[in-house]
Amino acid sequence: MAITGGIEPLYFTILVLAKLLIEILLLKPVMKFLKLEWNWLIFLILQAFYFQYVMVIAFLSPYKITTWKGRAITNQWVQS
């Protein structure tokens, strides 16, 4: 159950399949509009790395100081 984060494997599978379906339904028209070819292999490879990418960005984002219009924006909970 460690991989599924405490969610039953059946529900986890249903959620992942729903996510894939929604992304396909959103990305296919965009690819067609941009006149790009849909590549199932690339799509599935990127899906394999998506969860790790989200976790790393979510963990590191409070520690990043962002500059916008010349102003530094920091997280109010993490002060360095």
pLDDT 10s digits, 8-19: 888 888 988 999
pLDDT band at 3 (very low <50, low <70, confident <90, very high): low
Q: 3-state secondary structure string, the chain? A: CCCCCCCCHHHHHHHHHHHHHHHHHHHHHHHHHCCCCCCHHHHHHHHHHHHHHHHHHHHHHHHCCEEECCEEECCCCCCC
Question: Tell me, what's the pLDDT at 24?
Answer: 94
